[in-house]
Structure 1
Amino acid sequence: MELLTRFIRHVYEHHLFTKNDRLLLAVSGGVDSVVLGQLCKLAGFDFGVAHCNFQLRGTESDTDELFVKKLAEKWEVPFFTIRFNTREFAAANKLSIQEAARELRYEWFTEIRKKELFDYVLTAHHANDNIETVLMSFFRGTGINGLTGIKETNDLLVRPLLFAKRTELEAFLEAQSLHFVQDASNLKDDYTRNYIRNKLLPQLAAIYPEVEQNLMNNIHRFREVQALYRQSVEHARKKLLVTSGAEVQLPVLLLLKTAAPQTLLLEIIKEYGFSAGQLPEVFALTESEPGRYIASGTHRVIRDRKHLVIAPLPPAVQSRLIIEGPGKFFFSEGRMELRKRKYEGAIPEDPGIAWLDAAAIQFPLILRPWRTGDYFYPLGMTKKKKVARFLIDQKLSATQKEKVWVLEMQQKLPWIVNHRIDNRFRVTTGTKEIVEIKYLR
């Protein structure tokens, strides 16, 4: 029962959840999720089981669903299940099967959590999942952020098994005489993750027997390194950048005197829509004549006499801005500051400040001008309304309407910027964390 002791200690030491919380467990029927359920049962946590039938393996998918249902009955906990036409959804949204399944399940988990008043959603990601994710990130060249692995908590999503290796979960399963179902696709090497799991890591272990533990230790070190890295970048940003209206000026000579000018430049420009692939072109501007520029989807970096000037594209060029997470964002009609924080205090009446329930928000978000055909559910209303009609009711002139932008998430509009939020994203008595967005001209 050593794993149970470590599990309980890990949950409380890292403040993941408590005995007073209701937990919704995502259970596929595989080793990992069965172990998670058994641990929660033995530890005395209050939980329910959610199972997704993606209908990708015919009768096997139905067998898995029945297996998990019986598990829930054995544990004497609530059971929730849903069937998805995953292939149809993937084709309609131009997604891979894996991406489609992920999007479907997490949206459904959020719905069940809210409807049934669960506090957290738990998944059974473990240490080996973390190792595989880091290796994939390393080979893709995602930088230091990709080497910090899977987050243990992400809003109301918790992954409490990241401390344990798969071999430990299997040993616990055997000791508890538990059964599980095997997804045959996990044994194939068709997917990158499966290849790393089934081929690459065993080969590395033959050379470096402690490779798994070493990588787990490295993930912890990289997280601390990232914290120092972010601290250093933020210090340099405050020292170098000068904001003038919607423009940001970066002194070229001071940039070149920093310890890592290219890395620092990338950290600065990526907030304005520039990719790592554009970095060589942007950095080349430090040696170019004044007037040359490189553009992203939303901004330009222009070489001035002594500065690199980051400025929004003209309205005719800028069409949308992808928001991957909290931060500051510039667009043709002003700038926007987005952050997550604990829900406390009175909801502001300023239309330029939006408070949205963080549990309902999934990144990325899209900031764009409104379009004919757009609709939303205005705050306080249960019926949808076309944005065009809403703007008419607000008595906006034709030129004022041209300047209205919206925030889009999965074909929904959480906020008509500087005007009204969507009722489906409002804060409620059950809200614990909010996404606060401020619009500044």
Structure 2
Amino acid sequence: MKTFNPFDPAAFRTALRDFMDRESLLPAGAAVLVAVSGGADSVALAHLLHTSGITIEIAHCNFRLRGKESDRDEVFVQKFAAQLGVPFHVTHFDTNGYASSSRIAIQEAARLLRYGWLEELRTRLGISVLATAHQMQDSVETLWMNLSKGTGISGLHGILPKQGALVRPLLFATREDVAAYMAAEQLAFVEDSSNASDKYTRNYFRHHVLPPLREAYPDIVRQTGVSIERFREAEMLYRQAVEEYRKKLVEQKGEEYFIPVLKLKQVKPLATIAYELFKPFGCNTHLAAQAADLLDSMPGKFVTTATHRIVRDRKWLIITPLQADISAHFLIEEGQREIQIPGFRISIRIAKNDGRGIPADGGTAYINLAEIRFPLMVRKWKQGDYCYPLGLNKKKKLSRLFIDQKLSLPAKEKVWVLESDKRIAWVMGIRLDHRFRVTEHTEQMLVIKMDSVS
């Protein structure tokens, strides 16, 4: 990290340009929408960009949380934009009302409202870049907060210089650097009184955690900033390694993902790789650990996240998306020739039994029409269902039949049955019921065919 003289405005602008070029923050000739609260950091950022010859527009959020002080800040930023001769945009929020209706903390409500409006404004104006004034100490505070809560490697990179259209051009500078620039350029700013309160976590770290550390290590902010840059580079290598494991271990088939049990058990470090593999499927650290425990569990065990189910099969961990509830009962009336169920098209016809035998086709059922009572019902199977499997003529629970067929839990959940007069005539795609079989005495057959649809 290069050093510069913050009391020299030209040197500061050069350092800003170098940082933006190194991090590819600003396309050539692009304009910037700058979020300005009126505090020293945002005023300095807007002034630095403007005096560097970059086209800017200023946006200000009035959260109406501090009464007259909030209105004072708005007036200040409006006058500041006028002094620079740049466009000014403002919005007002009922932050307390939004926080109450959304049942979230005030800080989180303000953050969501702010970034939502800024992004909408940026898009509407056709500006390619949105800039906020986070500086190095903000990033260092974020790192310490993440460490205190417990974090993976992504928590070590602090605040990123760029996330999509959002950039933070001041991350190379400390709070003291900004103060020196403000003094050198004789720039005014307003102070947010809530910054003195310790009820917010960040302020507690700012007022009570970093100061004692600074007594022992006076340059802790800048040195931690250097470490953050190294952590970011280490994270890049880490992500590359994780992607290699993902390519080797995760196989996608349609909407399902398969991970071989034996291969994953041999991976080291298992906990870290397992966490990264399971994270895209809704796993936090705790659920990822539970999912890894499936490697040593019996087949059929599973872990459910908000979006997926991870099932221990005999040789695989099978990851399937949770499906929204759908209608699970469909009727086939006499004379009906086709119906649709989720994932399948079912065609129905009547054929004469010519005595030449029944073709072997798991997707088609040949049923003795004399045993059928309309309407037929197609539904998902449920616990307690039973049939008389063809060739066995002995009552058997479907759950037991599925075990004999070695069906995985995801496969079981996709099984439909055809029911006639409350009797299962066909476990669809798996086994016909013996009571509905075609015999030499059968004159007419009901032929039901299943075709998969995407």
Counterparts of 1:135 and 1:276 in 2: how far apart (Å)?
19
Deviations 1:354-396 (A, max 9, x none): xxxxxxxxxxxxxxxxxxxxxxxxxxxxxxxxxxxxxxxxxxx
Secondary structure (helix, strand or coil) at the match of 1:294 reads strand
Residue 306 of structure 1, CA deviation: 2.8
Whether contact under 8 Å (1:19, 1:45) holds in the other structure is no
Deviation, structure 1 residue 314: 5.3
Aligned Cα root-mean-square deviation (Å): 2.1
Partner of 1:57: 66
Equivalent residue of 1:95, what SS? coil
Q: Deviations over 1:392-439 (max 9, x none)?
A: xxxxxxxxxxxxxxxxxxxxxxxxxxxxxxxxxxxxxxxxxxxxxxxx
- TM-score normalised by L of structure 1: 0.69
Q: Aligned residue for 1:252?
A: 261
Aligned match of 1:203? 212
Note if 1:96 corresponds to 2:102: no
AA of the residue aligned to 1:299: H
Instruction: Output aligned runs, 1:20-419, within 5 Å.
Output: 20-313=29-322, 315-316=324-325
Spell out, residue by residue over 1:315-346, the C-alpha distance to the aligned partner (whole angstroms, 9 max, x if none).
549xxxxxxxxxxxxxx97xxxxxxxxxxxxx
Q: Aligned pair in 2 of structure 1 residues 18, 245: CA closer, same or farther (>3 Å)?
A: closer
Change (3 A) 1:10 1:241: closer
Task: State the Cα distance separating 1:18 from its structure 2 match.
Answer: 5.3
Q: State the shift of 1:6 in Å.
A: 0.8
Find the aligned partners of 1:25 and 1:35 in 2 and give their Cα distance. 11
Give, in angstroms, the shift of residue 113 of structure 1. 2.2
**What secondary structure sits across from 2:89 in the alignment?**
strand
Q: Which range is displaced more, 50-59 or 206-215? A: 206-215
Identity value in percent: 41
C-alpha separation between the residues in 1 aligned to 2:177 and 2:58? 22
Structure 2 vs 1, CA of residues 132 and 291 (structure 1 numbering), >3 Å: closer, same or farther?
Answer: same
- AA paired with 2:265? L
| Cα 1:18–1:294 shift into 2, 3 Å | closer
Distance 2:55 2:92 in 1: 25
Q: Distance in 2 between matches of 1:283 and 1:169?
A: 47
Q: Following TM superposition, by how much is the alpha carbon of 1:244 offset from its aligned partner in structure 2, in angstroms?
A: 3.6
- Runs of at least 5 residues in structure 1 that lack an aligned partner in the other structure: 318-331, 334-439
Alpha-carbon contact 1:12-1:18 (below 8 Å) kept: no
Q: Give the residue type in structure 2 aligned to 1:121.
A: L
CA separation of 1:310/1:188 partners in 2, compared to 1, >3 Å: closer, same or farther? same
Q: Which residue identity does 1:20 align to in structure 2?
A: G
Contact preservation (8 Å) 1:233, 1:264: yes
Say if 1:19 and 1:44, in contact at 8 Å, map to a contact too.
no
Letter in 2 for 1:96: A
Task: Provide the rounded CA distance (Å) in 2 between the counterparts of 1:50 and 1:222.
Answer: 32
Asked whether the 8 Å contact 1:19–1:46 carries over to 2, the reply is: no
1:3 to 3, 12, 15: 12
**Rg larger in 1 or in 2?**
2
Query: Quick one: which amino acid aligns to residue 140 of structure 1?
Result: K
* Residue identity matched to 2:126: L
Instruction: Output the TM-score relative to the length of structure 2.
Output: 0.67
Aligned equivalents of 1:153 and 1:280: distance in 2? 31
- 1: CA distance between counterparts of 2:224 and 2:212? 15
Equivalent AA in structure 2 for residue 264 of structure 1:
I
CA distance in 1, matches of 2:289, 2:27: 49
Aligned CA distance change for structure 1 residues 171 and 281 (closer, same or farther; 3 Å): same
**Could you say which residue in structure 1 is the equivalent of 2:438?**
none
- What secondary structure is seen at the aligned counterpart in 2 of 1:311? strand
Q: Mean Cα displacement is larger for which, 107-116 or 21-30? A: 107-116
1: distance between equivalents of 2:50 and 2:181? 14
Q: Residue type of the partner of 1:83?
A: H
Cα 1:243–1:103 shift into 2, 3 Å: closer
- Kindly state the Cα deviation for residue 19 of structure 1 after the two structures are TM-superposed: 6.3
Structure 1 Cα separation of the partners of residues 261 and 173 of structure 2? 48
CA drift of 1:131 comes to 0.9
Residue 296 (structure 1) shift: 1.5
Please report how far the alpha carbon of residue 191 of structure 1 lies from its aligned counterpart in structure 2 after TM superposition: 0.7
* Post-superposition CA distance 1:114-153 (Å, at most 9, x none): 3333332211111111111122222222311111122212
Instruction: Give distance in 2, aligned partners of 1:79 and 1:315.
Output: 46
* Aligned equivalents of 2:246, 2:289: Cα separation in 1: 20
| 8 A contact 2:60–2:91 mirrored in 1 | yes
Q: Could you tell me which runs of 5 or more consecutive residues in structure 2 were left unpaired when the two chains were aligned.
A: 1-8, 327-341, 344-452
Relative to structure 1, the CA distance from residue 282 to residue 11 in structure 2 (aligned partners, 3 Å threshold; closer, same or farther) is closer
Alpha-carbon spacing, 1:297–1:38, altered in 2? closer, same or farther (3 Å)? closer
Query: Contact 2:62 / 2:91 at 8 angstroms: preserved in 1?
Result: yes
Match of 1:15 in 2: 24
User: 1:160 Cα deviation (Å)?
Assistant: 0.7
Partners of 2:313 and 2:301 in 1: CA distance: 8
The residue type equivalent to 1:188 in the other structure is: S
Q: Note if contact 1:252-1:286 (Cα within 8 Å) is conserved in structure 2.
A: yes
Within 2, Cα distance between the matches of 1:47 and 1:244?
A: 48
Whole-angstrom CA distance in 2 between matches of 1:197 and 1:276 = 28
Deviations 1:16-39 (A, max 9, x none): 225622221111110101111211
Give the partner amino acid of 2:315: K
Is the contact made by 2:23 and 2:161 (CA closer than 8 Å) also made in structure 1? no
